Chain A
Amino acid sequence: MSINLYKMQYTVDERGYYGEFGGAWIPEMMYTNINELKHRYLEIMEEESFRKEFDELMKDYVGRPSPLYYARRLSEKYGSHIYLKREDLNHTGSHKLNNTIGQILLALKLGKTRIIAETGAGQHGLATATVCALKGLKCVVYMGALDVKRQDPNVRKMKMLGAEVIPVHSGNKTLKDATNEAMRDWISHPEDTHYIIGSVVGPHPYPDMVARFQSVISAEMKKQLAEKTGSELPKRVLACVGGGSNAAGAFYHYLDHPEVELIGVEAAGLGVDTKETAATLAVGSPGVLHAARTILMQNHDGQVTEPYSISAGLDYPGIGPLHAHLFKTGRARYLNATDEETLRAVLLLTQLEGIIPALESAHALAALEKISLQPNEISVICLSGRGDKDMQTYLDYFGY
């Protein structure tokens, strides 16, 4: 029961909108593929054979359910109860595999034989290369040339898995540019190719589809919390937000429980008052990016501005339309953490709990410093990934 099809207040409407955000602002060259996906994704996700294989792979291949871990020493430090949802313990080291397992099965049902993906931190590229190896499909991953450098271990893993990694040299050479290039690839290969988008971004139905695949995170959280604390509902859920897929998954089953506080944490880079930031909701405005109406970082002429964050996975000038909607309606609150605050949080978790988190996930941890935590409250943090890929950055910064 990992893919939840139950209706909630914050699902997309017929046209793929969450309130004023979303839609499919695609060029005609993408129409046939998007239209097929739009008409078939729910039906395929409900098929018995799809569900059975998805659930089996989630359990035996990804290693789900991921543990909900009570972080005792971290809780003591903050004087409040803190649980970590351990997506870092998934196969390949992040939540990204939940989505790629779902999409590869979908792609097979659609008869596709070639898979493309964009990646920032390389975690989504790795998760895509992994499922392509699992199913024997050809895999091409687009990655900004800067990210190829800063996430080298993941690049090598993808290659070892048989994927072709194509460095992208346009723009800032990061996630946005990789996404542009993947879209161009899809335009040029409309027949045999499925594009596995790695977050809750892009044209409808991607944001909804990816959120549904990731919703396994909060489905498990509810059950685990009930077992451990007697209630499914925590005081709050925190997650880092790049495009927003781990946050969408961690929020999903709590959206209809207004008493649960939902907090997304964006990457402030060097600070939201500098130009070197990726905190889209703090500095952005409405527009269309990567075929969705959402909030994005742009100048007065509507040119998308280049983001900056130390974390390749959050270094993106947009945000999924669901989050734009949650932000606009006030259902979720969005904070941000700078590079430095994040690195401090990395070391704190490492030395208090013996867990080295991914840079992305550590943004959520850093936000603990920014909210008032009461002694009897329960906070759940989605620990979206592990720090293996960031070791070079950590070693350089901390000097070990």
Chain B
Amino acid sequence: MTPQLLVNGLVAGTTIGLGAIGLSLTYSILRFANFTQGDLIAWGAYLTLTVASAIAGLLAGLAPATPLAPFSFGWTLPVALLAGMALTVLLALALDAVLFARLRARGADAIILVMAGFGASMALRAGLEFIYTSAPAYFTHELQIARPLGLGMRATPDQLLVLGLTAVLVLALHLLVTRTATGRAMRAVSENPALAAVYGLDVARVVRVTWIIGAGLACVAGVMSGLLVQIRPTMGFDLLLPLFAATILGGIGSIPGAMVGGLVIGLSEALAVQLLGAEWRAAAAFVVLVAVLILRPSGLFGRGA
């Protein structure tokens, strides 16, 4: 064990945590386990990459794409990220309109929604492979030197940025859910949608807000992971187990819980890689998931059974 494990685990955990927040929100408000959450992460990364390439293409020769020191990427990436988030949100809303909303309107059971989501997930993944091929893609080819942080830990500026951005996003979202009228409506709908409607809350609007937040965060998670590792069509699918483990560990419906869950899973994976070898990474999430289900099914921040 080395202190560096902490940095690696936390950085990997940010992607899992942000994705898990979306999963947790859709679970508590739409009442089904949304298997497309992983693919929204991958689509977010690719859509952002496409916008970034388009901007770079349009500006070719006009402005050299110099990185924003000390980071590895230029200004096109943050701009493309905003556009990518908007596009990912549109994708999620379209998916809901075409698929999930229709099933909900028919009063379909959660298991039907889960299976529909599973099918949509496969289609989304196949779509990415069809459009972008399965070869990995990158936001940047700049190399970054990890800088010493003290205590034997090192991190690249990109990694630190990812940690900071995640903290800001989670805090903002936590305040939104606990302090605003929109958050209040989300919590009311998650407890009792029929009562929420009778008491004047527009449940369809709350559902839209949930997709917007979930898909927006998925895109950020995908871009972060793409920036620090690489972009692949299966990057989201590979995250599914860690996402579910983090969501359940944190307690379904809890935003800080999902984030903490993500960080714990990230750390466990880093630990497994260091102690047992890289092929054990995926097993870590599974072991944590099983342990939580046995020891504390309501999760760390859950409301009890």
Q: Do A and B come from one complex?
A: no
